[in-house]
Amino acid sequence: MTDRTPKYKRILLKLSGEALMGGDAYGINRQTIGEIVQEIKAVADLGVQIGVVIGGGNIFRGVAPAATGMDRAQADYMGMLATVMNSLAMQDAMRVAGINCRVQSALSIEQVVEPYIRGKAIRYLEQGRIVIFAAGTGNPFFTTDTAAALRGAEIGAEIVLKATKVDGIYTADPKKDAGATRFDRISFDEAISRGLGVMDATAFALCRDQKLPINVFSIFKAGALQRVVMGENEGTLVYC
């Protein structure tokens, strides 16, 4: 009988806003978000505790032309609100799928979502609920990659899973270089020395300092998230 015990019991899943677009130019594709939720549900059904951070690029892309020349901090706050919209959409998709989910925001919008409280988030995870962390870190100049690293460290996640459109980290851009090869594993130090853009520098440094590994994989490969959680060779593992 195959052992179905997950390798990781508590994870932080980082989704880009663009992952929710499907084939659309911007916004949220309902079918795509539903498929992503089913991938998450398969892992939650194994008893894995899941925290989620979602970017806001898909929403912000629609207003980006109007934001040209805008003050950076102001634009970043708009981006944080975009992540709240994505988080609410994800929560609703999880409701439809029968998943108990809570959204906590780093910005105070209590009429819409509850504020981020670390102890309450951990309690939700222990109760088997999925927790979506919205509004990034609540501060401008910090990306949702940094928010994922920060929340992952705060909740005691065993790994940060960065879900992308590419199935791992390559020696070069596989779309431009047919000879590019994928790393199965790579150390933080080697990734830095090679200049590989795994996450933004602040997030990457935080994960390295906290000895929090990262796995980069494609959320669009059926079953990939579950294979990562089970410890199978999927995507690229960045280790300390």
Q: Which residues are annotated as a binding site for ATP?
A: 14-17, 57, 61, 164, 170, 173
Enumerate the known binding-site residues for UMP: 56, 76, 137-144
Instruction: State whether the Cα torsion 101-39-19-239 is positive or negative.
Output: positive
Enumerate the known binding-site residues: 14-17, 56-57, 61, 76, 137-144, 164, 170, 173
The residues near 89 (Cβ < 8 Å, ≥ 6 apart) are 20, 28, 33
Q: Is 29 left (phi over 0), alpha (psi -120 to 50) or beta?
A: beta
